[in-house]
Amino acid sequence: MESLLDQSSLFLQQLVNGITLGGVYALIAVGYTMVYGVIQLINFAHGEVYMLGAFLAYTLVAVVGMPFFPAFVLTLIICAVLGVVLDFVAYRPLRKAPRLAALITAIGMSIFLQNMALLIWGSQIKSYPREVLPAFFSEAAITMGDVTLSWLQIFILSITLLFMIILHLTIHKTRIGMAMRAISQDKTASALMGIGVNRVISFTFAIGSAMGGMAGILVGLYYNAIFPTMGYVAGIKAFAAAVLGGIGSVPGAMLGGGVLGIAEVMGAGYISSEYRDGISYAVMIAVILFKPSGLIGKQLGEKV
Amino acid sequence: MPLFHRNPRILFLAILFLAIILPWVPLGVSSNYLLRVLTTAVLYMILALGLNIVPGFTGLLDLGYVGFYGIGAYTSGLLAIHYDLSLWVILPLAAANGALWGVLLGAPTLRLTGDYFAIVTFGFSELVVLLIRNELWLTRGPMGLPGISAPSIFGYTLSQGWQYFYLALFLLLVVLVVVVRLENSRLGRAWFAIREDEIAAQCCGINLIRYKVMAFAASAAIGAMGGAFYAKWFRFIHPDMFKFWESILILCLIVFGGMGSISGTMLGALILIPLTEVLRTALPQSMFNARYLIYGLLLVIMMRLRPEGLIPFQLSRSRKAEQAKARLLGGEE
Amino acid sequence: MKRLGFFLCFWVFMQFLGLTCPSWADSIKIPVAAPFTGPLASFGEGMKNGAMLKAEEINAQGGINGQQVEILFEDELCDPKEAATVATKLAADPAVSIVVGHLCSSASLAALPIYKEAKLPAISPASTNINLAKSSPYYFRNVYKDDFQGLFLAKYAKDIKGYKKVAIFYEMNDYSMGLMNAFLKQAKKNGIRILGKEAYTAETTDFKPQLTKFKMMKPNAIFIPGYAPQGTLIISQAKSLGMKNVDFLGADGLDDNLMLKNPDTEGLFVTTPFIPDKAGPNAAAFIKAYREKFGIDPNWFAANTYDAVGIAAAAIAKAGQDREKVREYLVSIDTKEKAYDGVAGKTYFDKNGDCLKEAFVKEIKNGKWVGAEKQLQ
C-alpha cells in the first residue's frame, strides 16, 4: 500500500505531465479555432501541418545538418507558408460553396498530406538526433521527492506561454488582429469596411499553421518520436480542446488544451490506459451536445 | 445507346445479367481472386448506398459510418460464434442493432449543424472501435474474432467464392429496392426537401428531427447489414478492420460517383474498389501508400471540378416525371 | 460524363483482368508474405534478405531439379485485411504450392482459413501466437511459440537475473497479450511478484502516464512484450522520467537494430530465436554470406526465413509442386532424426505443425547486440 506521500507525488507528477501535454494541445487548438473563427471551416489538414512541422525540422536537423534554432525558425516560416498555400489552393476557391464541399476538401487534403509524408519519409518512427538539444535538457531541473520537472518540459511550457501571449497581444492590440476579430463576427460587413478579407484569412492560416508546426517540433522532442500518422490523433484531440474551450475563442483554445491534456493524463494514469484517446472523444461529444459554446465561447443564435 | 437511355431499367437488367453469368465466364484460373475483389466491390456498393442516404438525402455528413459497419460485423460474428443461427436471422438482427444505434446516436445529434454533426459522428465511431478493441470479454479485442462459421442458407453452407458473390449480389438487390422505394416515397421526398432547403422544408411542416433520425437509422441499418455479411464472408474480424479510413473510403466512393445518386454511388464503387487492387500490383512497392494519396487527391479534385460526381443525382427518375418534363419542354429530349 | 464514367469502369476492369492472369514461367515460385512497408517494415526486411540469400544459393547450385527458384514478395503491412487479400491471391495461383509467411500473428490468423480452404500449406518463420498451427493442418512454423517464450523469459528473469518485482507494459494485440499471459503463468510459479500491468496501442506515443505509475511501484524490471518501435520510446521516456534503476526485459519483438539507435536502451535483455555468435556450425557460412551481401549481421527473421525457404525448397524438391504432397512431406518431418538442419537449429514438426526450438538471450552492451553471458538451457 503506497503511502500518502507516494500518492501525492504520483498525482503531482501526472499533473506535470498533463500540463505539458496540455500546452501542446493548446498550441494546435489555437490554429483550429482561429481558422474556424474566420471562415467557419474545420481545417482537417491542420493536424497534418503539425506533423509536417515535426518532420521538416527533423529533415533540416538530421539530413541537412542545420543547428537547432535556425531550423526551428525556418520550419515555422515554412509551416506558415504551407498554411497559406493550403488555403489558397483548397479552401479559397470554395469560399462560396456549400459547407459540405469545403469539409470534404479538408478531409481530402488531410489524407493527401498524410500519405505524401508517408511516401517521402516512410512510416518508421524517427527521432531527433541526440545532439539537437543541449544534453541537460532531459535532465531533471526541479526535483521534489519523486516528482521531476525536466528542463525540456520547462522549455515547452515557456515557449507555449510566450507564443500564447504574443498571439493574444496580436489579436487584441494590432490592426490585423482587429481585422481578424471583425471578420469572425461578420465577413460581409468587414469587407464593406474595406478590410482585405482574403489577406487577413491568409494571415490567420499563416499564424495558426506556424504554431501548429511548432507544436509538432516540441512534441517530437518531448516524446522523441515522430511518424507520419501523428497528425491524425493529435489533430482530433486538439480540435476537441478547441471545442471544449469554445470554438472561435483563442483563450478558450488555450484553456481547453490545458484541461484536456490534464484530463487525458489523469484518465490514463488513474482510470484506464486503454481508453485514453476515448477521453478526448467523449469530452468532445459531451461538450458539443450539452454546451456547444464551450467553456468560454459565446452562444451564437441561429439566424433565420 | 438510345435503348438504354430511354429505359434505364433495361440497362440495369443487362448489367445484372452480366453480373450473374460472370463467375462462369472462363477467365483463366485466377477467377477466384477476381470474384473476391468483385464481391468486395459489391459489398462496398451496399455500404456506399447506405452512407449515401445521409449526405445524399439530408445534406449532412456522416463521418462515423464505420461505427455501424463494425457494430454489424461484430453482432453477426458474435451471434455466429455463440449461437447457431441461419443467415436470414443474423442479417436482420444485425441490421436492427445498427438501426437501434442509429437512433440512439441520431436523436441527440441531428439537430446540430453540419460541421459539428460530422465531428460527433466521427467521435462516436472512434468510441465504438475503442470499445471493440478494449472489451475483451465481449469481442476478444485485439485478438480478433476468428472462426466465424460460414453462412448457412436453408441448411446449405456456403463455401465457394461464386456463392458468396451471388449472396452479395442478392443483398445488393435488396438494398437497392429499399433505397429506390425510399427515394420515390413521401419519406424520400421529405429527405430531398431537407437537403435542398432545411428552413423551407420546416415551413412546409416537415418534422426535421423525425425524418433525419429515420434517414440516419436506415443508413445505419444498411451499414450494419453490410458488416454482418462481411463477418460471415471473411470469417475473421478484427478491430483494425474498422478504422476511420473505411469511412473515408466509402465517402470517396459516393463523392466520386455522385452524392445522392444511386447509380452514381454504385459506379463509384465499381471503379474505385478494383482500382485499389490494380494499384496494388501496378505500383512499385515503395509507393504502396500512394494508393491512399490518390483517394485524398480525388476528394479535393472532385470538389473543385465536379462536386456532383460522375452521375449527378436527379430529383426524380420515374418515367412519369421524365415524360412530363418532355412534354413541358416541347418534345425536346 | 456518364460515358466517361462507363469508360473508366471498363478500363479499370480490363487492367484488372490483365492482372489476374497468372504469369507462367519456368521458375518455381515461392511467395514470402510479410510487411515490407509500414511500421514493421524493418522486420519484413530481415525476412526479405534471408529469403533472397537462400534463393540465390539454391539457384547457384542449379535450382530445384533444374528449375530456378523465384521469390515473390507479397506485402501485407501486418494488417489482417491485406493479409487475407494476399492469401486469396496466392491461393488462386496454381503455380504456388507453398507459402512462406506471415510475420505478424494477426496477419497469419487472418490468412489461415484461406490457406486451409485452398489446401495450400504455409510455413511461418515468425508468428509466435499459440493458436496458429493447431488451428489448421495446413499451417506450420519453424519458430517457437509464445507459451514457450513466456515461460523461458520468466525463468530467465528469476533464475538468472534475480528479479523479484516486475511490471508489465504490453500492447493490445495477439502477440503481446499471448506472450504476457504465458509470462504471468510462469512468473507466479517462480515467485516473481507482478506489480502491475498497463496497456498501450500501436498508435500510442505518450507512455508517460503509465510509466509514472510504474515508477511509483518501484519494480526491479519492466517487461515489454511488444515491438521495437514502441519499445525504444518506452525506454527513453522512462529514463527521462528519472527511472534509472529499472531494468528492461523484452522478447523477439524487441530484437531489432532500431533499438540500437537509442543510447537509452543500454542494458536491455531480450529473448530471441537466433543469435549469430551462439548459433551452431551450420550458421557460420550463412552469417558470413549475409554479412558480405548486406553489410550487417542477420537477425532472427532473416535466419528463420532462410530456413523456411530451405524447408519449402526441400519439400518441392522431394514432392514436386503439388500442394497436398508438399504438405505430406512437411508432416513427415516429425522426429529429430528427420529434422531439417538449418541455421537456426533443427526443425521438425509435431502433430499440430509447431516445432520445438531453443531460445537465446541477447543484450545491448555498448550499443551493440551481444549474446548474454549467461544463457538458460
CATH number of domain containing A169 = 1.10.3470
- CA B277 to CA A161: how far, in whole Å? 49
Q: Would you say A253 and A30 are in contact if contact means Cβ atoms under 8 Å apart? A: yes
Asked if pLDDT for residue A200 goes beyond 60, the answer is yes
Q: 3-state SS of chain A: helix, strand, coil percent to 5?
A: 75, 5, 20
Residue in C5, C16, C177 closest to B143 by CB: C177
If asked whether residues C113 and C169 sit together in one domain, one would say no
Asked if pLDDT for residue C24 goes beyond 50, the answer is no
Residues C290-307 have pLDDT tens digits of 888 888 888 888 889 999
Do the chains contact at B34 and C9, CB–CB below 8 Å?
no
If asked whether residues C250 and C200 sit together in one domain, one would say yes
Distance from CA of C339 to the nearest CA of B (A): 31
Look at residue B12 and tell me if it is in a domain.
no
pLDDT at A77: 95
Share of chain B above pLDDT 90, in %: 18
If asked whether residues C126 and C38 sit together in one domain, one would say yes
pLDDT at B252: 87
Look at residue A87 and tell me if it is in a domain.
yes
Asked if pLDDT for residue A262 goes beyond 50, the answer is yes
Do the chains contact at C215 and A13, CB–CB below 8 Å?
yes
pLDDT at A103: 84
pLDDT at C296: 83
> A22 — phi, psi (to 5°)?
-60, -40
What residues pair up with C36 in beta bridges, in sequence order? none
Distance from CA of B187 to the nearest CA of C (A): 28
Q: B-chain residues within 8 Å CB-CB of C2? A: 310-311
Q: Which residues contact A293 (CB under 8 A, 6 or more apart)?
A: A246, A299, A300
If asked whether residues C40 and C119 sit together in one domain, one would say yes
pLDDT at A216: 93
Look at residue B18 and tell me if it is in a domain.
no
Which of C139, C100, C121, C128 has the alpha carbon at shortest distance from C307? C100
Q: Which residues contact B328 (CB under 8 A, 6 or more apart)?
A: none
If asked whether residues C310 and C212 sit together in one domain, one would say no
Residues B126-174 have pLDDT tens digits of 899 888 888 878 887 777 777 677 777 776 777 777 788 888 889 999 9
**Residue B163 DSSP symbol:** H
Residue C295: Cβ within 10 Å count: 7
Asked if pLDDT for residue C4 goes beyond 70, the answer is no
**Of the residues C272, C299, C319, the one at which a domain ends:** C272
| Over residues B195-220, mean pLDDT | 78
Residue in A94, A115, A236 closest to B289 by CB: A115
If asked whether residues C109 and C175 sit together in one domain, one would say no
- CA C255 to CA C250: how far, in whole Å? 8
- CA A180 to CA A190: how far, in whole Å? 9
- CA C273 to CA C357: how far, in whole Å? 7
Enumerate residues 261 to 280 of chain B having a beta carbon within 8 A of any beta carbon in chain A.
none
Do the chains contact at A239 and B127, CB–CB below 8 Å?
no
| Over residues C304-321, mean pLDDT | 89
| Over residues C113-137, mean pLDDT | 85
Q: Would you say C345 and C272 are in contact if contact means Cβ atoms under 8 Å apart? A: no
Look at residue B73 and tell me if it is in a domain.
yes
**Residue C276 DSSP symbol:** G
- CA C238 to CA C211: how far, in whole Å? 6
Strands of chain B, DSSP E:
145-146, 152-153, 156-157, 236-237
Enumerate residues 196 to 235 of chain B having a beta carbon within 8 A of any beta carbon in chain A.
199
> A142 — phi, psi (to 5°)?
-125, 130
Do the chains contact at C206 and A269, CB–CB below 8 Å?
no
| Over residues C50-71, mean pLDDT | 87
Look at residue A302 and tell me if it is in a domain.
no
Look at residue C95 and tell me if it is in a domain.
yes
pLDDT at B288: 63
- B vs C: CB pairs below 8 A: 115
Q: Would you say B146 and B236 are in contact if contact means Cβ atoms under 8 Å apart? A: yes
Range of the domain at A260: 4-290
For chain B, how many structural domains are there in total? Answer: 1
Residue in C16, C89, C106 closest to B274 by CB: C16
C345-360 b/e with 16+ CB inside 10 Å = b? bbbbbeebbbbebbbb
Residue C362: Cβ within 10 Å count: 24
Dihedral over alpha carbons B284, B289, B294, B300 (to 10 degrees): -160
Task: Identify the band that residue A301 occupies on the pLDDT scale cut at 50, 70 and 90.
Answer: very low
Which of B52, B22, B50 has the alpha carbon at shortest distance from B36? B22
Q: Would you say A212 and A253 are in contact if contact means Cβ atoms under 8 Å apart? A: no
Q: How far is CA B262 from CA B5, B99, B186, B315, C170, in A?
A: 16, 21, 18, 11, 46
The chain A residue lying nearest B60, using CA atoms, is A100
Look at residue A257 and tell me if it is in a domain.
yes
Task: Identify the band that residue B333 occupies on the pLDDT scale cut at 50, 70 and 90.
Answer: very low
Do the chains contact at A268 and C203, CB–CB below 8 Å?
no
ipTM reported for the complex, 2 dp: 0.82
Nearest-10 crossing angle of helices B161-183, B208-234 = 170
Look at residue A301 and tell me if it is in a domain.
no
Do the chains contact at A17 and C209, CB–CB below 8 Å?
yes
pLDDT at B331: 47
| Over residues B53-78, mean pLDDT | 87
pLDDT at B6: 56
Look at residue C5 and tell me if it is in a domain.
no
Do the chains contact at C80 and B288, CB–CB below 8 Å?
no
Look at residue C2 and tell me if it is in a domain.
no
Which of B252, B265, B255, B266 has the alpha carbon at shortest distance from B294? B252
Residue in C198, C236, C241 closest to A148 by CB: C241
Q: A-chain residues within 8 Å CB-CB of C198? A: 273
Residues composing chain C: 377
Q: 3-state SS of chain C: helix, strand, coil percent to 5?
A: 50, 20, 35
If asked whether residues C263 and C301 sit together in one domain, one would say no
Which of A128, A68, A139 has the alpha carbon at shortest distance from C261? A128
CATH number of domain containing C200 = 3.40.50.2300
Share of chain A above pLDDT 70, in %: 93
Residue A70: Cβ within 10 Å count: 11
Asked if pLDDT for residue A62 goes beyond 60, the answer is yes
The reply to whether B127 touches chain A by the CB within 8 Å rule is yes
- CA A46 to CA C62: how far, in whole Å? 57
| Over residues C127-150, mean pLDDT | 85
Residues C79-106 have pLDDT tens digits of 887 888 888 888 878 888 899 988 888 7
Range of the domain at C126: 27-144+280-358
Cell 460464434 belongs to residue: B81
What residues pair up with C139 in beta bridges, in sequence order? C122
The chain C residue lying nearest B15, using CA atoms, is C6
Asked if pLDDT for residue B324 goes beyond 70, the answer is no
For chain C, how many structural domains are there in total? Answer: 2
| Over residues C20-29, mean pLDDT | 62
CATH number of domain containing B140 = 1.10.3470
Q: C-chain residues within 8 Å CB-CB of A229? A: 203
The chain B residue lying nearest A276, using CA atoms, is B130
Range of the domain at B224: 32-328
Looking at every residue in chain A, the average pLDDT score rounds to: 84
If asked whether residues C268 and C151 sit together in one domain, one would say yes
Strands of chain C, DSSP E:
28-34, 69-75, 99-101, 122-124, 139-141, 165-171, 193-200, 221-224, 247-250, 269-272, 340-342, 345-347, 360-365, 368-371
Do the chains contact at C200 and A273, CB–CB below 8 Å?
yes
Lowest mean pLDDT, pick from A152-156, C182-186, C366-370: C366-370
* Pairing of the two strands A140-144 and A147-150: antiparallel
Residues C227-267 have pLDDT tens digits of 888 898 899 888 877 788 888 999 888 888 778 877 888 88
For chain A, how many structural domains are there in total? Answer: 1
Nearest-10 crossing angle of helices B208-234, B87-109 = 140
Which of C31, C89, C135 has the alpha carbon at shortest distance from B161? C89
pLDDT at C1: 55
Q: A-chain residues within 8 Å CB-CB of C208? A: 17, 265
| Over residues B183-198, mean pLDDT | 73
